[in-house]
């Protein structure tokens, strides 16, 4: 029986081993992929070594530490190459440790610590039975995969700015300069102490402290106001740099292909927010500071009269006025003194005249006429400075709708008036306030540039009277100039006989004061607001009309029509009121009824000079301009002389 059992066991083992071998051999057979490379025995036996290093590519290699022993900086060779990517503090305990054994004992309920300790010992028989063998990886199907992310490339970004301009400043300070500075400071302190001693009551003490604070504040303000103005101008010049470049350097090259036509290049536009509802009623350039000009603001709508404003702008800062003087009545005219450029004469709608000084602080005029001092009873339409009298007192003239031409003299602290002429309808001068003649309204006047006593007066009836300061009982001459009021009359800068006039009857006329009829008549198909002669040519003048157009004439080029007609504002909404030439630059400024002043640069054709012949130099001076105008006038006088 034992032999049979042993034989059956051997047979079963043989069967089991046979079947297992077949399964293992079938399951573990190597399958070669179709695209596997076929290598020779030598290639298979070749050993290829790959060395993996744990160096950090981003670790710095140039760390330097100071060695106190050697008293110098030494490079450090050993650099930490370890890069920690992930850290997680866990609660895992090794199963063979003492702490794991204690935790296992606590989990068993009612177990003896010592017995459990004996059983849990790693060398005990129970631990060997219950201990699971670690899982061994399959050596045949095992694959190890690794991946590495791309390192971000290092980039250096550098920004370079232009260095600011530098200027070297040097000064020497000697003992006397230091002494003078200390003396000035001591004098200020003594003045403050005297003011404090002079106050008796507490109220006076409080007031004196306020005065001292105001004085110190005013001193501080005066220190930084000039700096702030300079800073504002630099900012505005940087903002309007392209316009400034055009003002200085731009010349319209297309004028070479236009023989008798020119253009106007728009430059700066001057506006003040508080003056949007007012109209530009007067413009005047400063002869000493050629970038500064004055603007008078009022209203030509006589049913809507209110306050006015006197503004001073500079081409260096078009963003904001340099000086602002608000007025209780609308400004209708103004004039800046030729020699004393800080004095400005202003005429108002209520009949007053005033003199402002830019040197004085505050917004009130230094001189102003009142009803007691002979102010006009109607709006003042024109003021003009004249040369000083025998006592070296400044004086100016004014004309008003009340028919009076008045001379105003600045004597100490008041204005002294003298009536020069009273205008009448029958072309005769009234000899006094009791005269029977009906007065007429004066609308404009201008004084001769060479003959001091001669001046022209334009009236509301369209007549122009030639008058004299010394002979006030009668007009020297009367011209039937226009069918409506004469808005402007101006003598030519160069020719002593020529003057120009304009009116709302659409016409501009050029006269020789020795002849009763006009030499040139131009119909502009719109009401004319103002006319101005150019200071550089005797034959060039500019005209503005209410349809928003600027006309520039040059009689030496074209005697029949303007060589430039340019629309500069909206025709339906805006009307042009005044125009003025800059004394030295080829620039004009134009004012409208919305309070805006726009500057324009004349193209080369509008200020073209005659070409010199070969071998001859071009003559210069006012005599050339006089001859140019005289040549035009002679062409018009010849028929009259032949007929006479």
- Give the single-character DSSP code of 424: B
SS (H, E, C) 507-559: EEEEEECCCCCCCEEEECCCCEEEEEECCCCCCEEEEEECCCEEEEEECCCCC
Place of tokens 């005659």: 610
Question: Mean pLDDT of all residues in the chain?
Answer: 80
The confidence band for 581, taking pLDDT boundaries of 50, 70 and 90, is very high
For residue 34, pLDDT over 90 is answered with no
Per-residue pLDDT tens digits for 216-249: 655 666 667 777 878 887 888 888 888 888 888 8
Higher pLDDT, 573 or 581: 581
- Output the DSSP codes for 314-343: ETTBTTS-SEEEEESS-EEEEEE-SSSTTE
List the single range of 133-147, 336-350, 565-579 with lowest mean pLDDT: 133-147
For residue 590, pLDDT over 90 is answered with yes
Angle, helices 202-239/175-198, rounded to nearest 10 degrees: 130
- The Cα–Cα gap between 296 and 572 comes to 23
- The Cα–Cα gap between 629 and 609 comes to 14
The confidence band for 200, taking pLDDT boundaries of 50, 70 and 90, is very low
For residue 641, pLDDT over 60 is answered with no
For residue 256, pLDDT over 90 is answered with no
CA distances from 323 to 282, 289, 392, 455, 530 (A): 16, 14, 28, 32, 25
Mean pLDDT value across residues 47-51: 86
Mean pLDDT value across residues 197-211: 55
- Output the DSSP codes for 90-158: -----TTSHHHHHHHHHHSTT--HHHHHHHTSTTSHHHHHHPPPPPPPPTTT-------PPPPPP----
Element (H, E) at 406: strand 404-411
Phi, psi of 509 (to 5 degrees): -130, 140
Element (H, E) at 615: none
Per-residue pLDDT tens digits for 259-298: 778 888 899 899 888 888 888 999 999 988 888 999 999 9
Domain ranges of the chain: 254-272+535-610
Alpha-carbon dihedral of residues 314, 301, 398, 485, nearest 10 degrees? 110
Kind of pairing between the strands at 576-581 and 72-75? unpaired
For residue 4, pLDDT over 60 is answered with no
List the single range of 105-119, 259-273, 342-356 with lowest mean pLDDT: 105-119
Task: Report the pLDDT value the prediction gives residue 217, as an integer from 0 to 100.
Answer: 59
Task: Report the pLDDT value the prediction gives residue 205, as an integer from 0 to 100.
Answer: 53
CA distances from 106 to 97, 103, 110 (A): 15, 5, 9
**Is residue 494 within 8 Å of residue 629, measured between CB atoms?**
yes
Burial class (CB in 10 A: 0-12, 13-18, 19+), 288: middle
CA distances from 272 to 46, 280, 564, 610 (A): 93, 12, 29, 41
Element (H, E) at 629: helix 622-643
Q: Which two tokens stand for residue 281?
A: 């009623």
| SS3 assignment, position 576 | strand
Per-residue pLDDT tens digits for 491-511: 888 888 889 999 988 899 998
**Is residue 415 within 8 Å of residue 367, measured between CB atoms?**
yes
Per-residue pLDDT tens digits for 400-441: 988 888 888 988 888 888 888 888 776 555 544 444 466 788
Task: Report the pLDDT value the prediction gives residue 130, as an integer from 0 to 100.
Answer: 56
Q: pTM of the full predicted structure?
A: 0.62
List the single range of 195-199, 360-364, 459-463 with lowest mean pLDDT: 195-199
Task: Report the pLDDT value the prediction gives residue 122, as an integer from 0 to 100.
Answer: 52
Of 311, 327, 429, nearest in space to 380 by CA: 327
Mean pLDDT value across residues 188-202: 74
- The Cα–Cα gap between 637 and 631 comes to 10
Q: Which two tokens stand for residue 200?
A: 């008796």
Most confident of 22-31, 467-476, 524-533: 524-533
Alpha-carbon dihedral of residues 242, 247, 248, 250, nearest 10 degrees? 80
Per-residue pLDDT tens digits for 609-619: 656 555 555 56
**Is residue 548 within 8 Å of residue 583, measured between CB atoms?**
no
Q: Is 595 left (phi over 0), alpha (psi -120 to 50) or beta?
A: left
- The Cα–Cα gap between 463 and 270 comes to 35
Task: Report the pLDDT value the prediction gives residue 600, as an integer from 0 to 100.
Answer: 92
Per-residue pLDDT tens digits for 76-101: 888 888 888 888 888 888 888 888 88
Task: Report the pLDDT value the prediction gives residue 392, as an integer from 0 to 100.
Answer: 83
């Amino acid at each position: 029986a034992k032999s049979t059992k042993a034989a059956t066991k051997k047979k079963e083992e043989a069967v089991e081993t046979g079947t297992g071998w077949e399964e293992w051999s079938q399951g573990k057979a190597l399958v070669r992929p179709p695209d596997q490379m076929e290598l020779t025995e030598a290639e298979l036996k070749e050993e290829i070594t790959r060395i993996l290093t744990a160096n950090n590519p981003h670790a710095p290699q140039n760390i330097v530490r100071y060695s106190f022993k050697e008293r110098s900086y030494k490079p450090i060779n050993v650099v930490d190459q370890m890069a920690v990517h992930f850290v997680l503090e866990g609660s895992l305990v090794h199963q063979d440790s003492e702490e794991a054994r204690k935790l296992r004992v606590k989990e068993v309920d009612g177990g003896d610590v010592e017995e459990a300790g004996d059983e849990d010992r790693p060398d005990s028989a129970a631990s060997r039975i219950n201990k699971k063998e670690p899982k061994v990886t399959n050596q045949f199907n095992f694959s190890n995969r690794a991946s590495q992310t791309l390192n971000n490339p290092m980039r250096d970004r550098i920004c370079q700015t232009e260095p600011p301009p530098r200027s070297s400043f040097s000064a020497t300070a000697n003992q006397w300069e230091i002494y003078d500075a200390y003396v000035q400071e001591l004098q200020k302190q003594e003045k403050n102490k005297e003011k404090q001693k002079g106050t008796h009551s507490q109220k006076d003490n409080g007031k004196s402290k306020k005065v001292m604070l105001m004085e110190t504040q005013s001193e501080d303000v005066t220190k930084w106001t000039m700096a702030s103005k300079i800073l504002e101008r630099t900012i505005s010049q940087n903002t309007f740099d392209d316009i400034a470049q055009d003002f200085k350097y731009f010349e319209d090259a297309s004028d070479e292909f236009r023989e008798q036509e020119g253009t106007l290049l728009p430059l700066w536009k001057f506006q003040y927010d508080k003056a949007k509802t007012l109209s530009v009623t007067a413009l005047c350039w400063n002869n000493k500071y050629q970038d500064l000009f004055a603007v008078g603001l009022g209203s030509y709508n006589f049913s809507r009269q209110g306050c006015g404003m006197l503004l001073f702008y500079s081409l260096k800062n078009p963003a904001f006025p340099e000086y602002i003087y608000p007025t209780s009545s609308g400004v209708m005219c103004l004039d800046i003194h030729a020699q004393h450029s800080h004095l400005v004469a202003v005429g108002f709608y209520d009949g007053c005249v005033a003199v402002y000084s830019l040197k004085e602080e505050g917004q009130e005029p230094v001189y102003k006429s009142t009803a007691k001092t002979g102010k006009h009873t109607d709006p003042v339409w024109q003021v003009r400075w004249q040369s000083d009298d025998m006592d070296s007192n400044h004086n100016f003239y004014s004309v008003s709708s009340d028919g009076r031409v008045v001379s105003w003299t600045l004597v100490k602290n008041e204005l002294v008036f003298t009536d020069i002429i009273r205008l009448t309808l029958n072309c005769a001068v009234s000899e006094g306030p009791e005269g029977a003649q009906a007065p007429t309204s004066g609308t404009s006047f201008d004084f001769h540039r060479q003959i001091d006593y001669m001046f022209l007066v334009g009236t509301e009836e369209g007549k122009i009277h030639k008058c004299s300061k010394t002979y006030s009982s009668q007009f020297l001459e009367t011209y039937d100039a226009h069918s409506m009021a004469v808005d402007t009359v101006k003598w030519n800068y160069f020719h002593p006989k020529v003057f120009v006039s304009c009116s709302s009857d659409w016409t501009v006329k050029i006269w020789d004061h020795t002849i009763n009829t006009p030499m040139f008549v131009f119909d502009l198909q719109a009401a004319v607001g103002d006319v101005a002669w150019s200071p550089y040519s005797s034959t060039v003048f500019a005209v503005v009309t209410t349809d928003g157009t600027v006309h520039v004439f040059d009689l030496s080029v074209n005697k029949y029509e303007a060589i430039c007609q340019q629309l500069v504002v909206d025709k339906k909404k805006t009307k042009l009121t005044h125009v003025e030439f800059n004394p030295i630059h080829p620039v004009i400024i134009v004012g409208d009824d919305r309070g805006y002043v726009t500057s324009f640069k004349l193209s080369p054709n509008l200020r073209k000079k005659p070409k010199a012949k070969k071998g001859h130099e071009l003559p210069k001076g006012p005599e050339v301009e006089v001859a140019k105008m005289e040549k035009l006038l002679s062409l018009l006088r010849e028929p009259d002389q032949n007929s006479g």
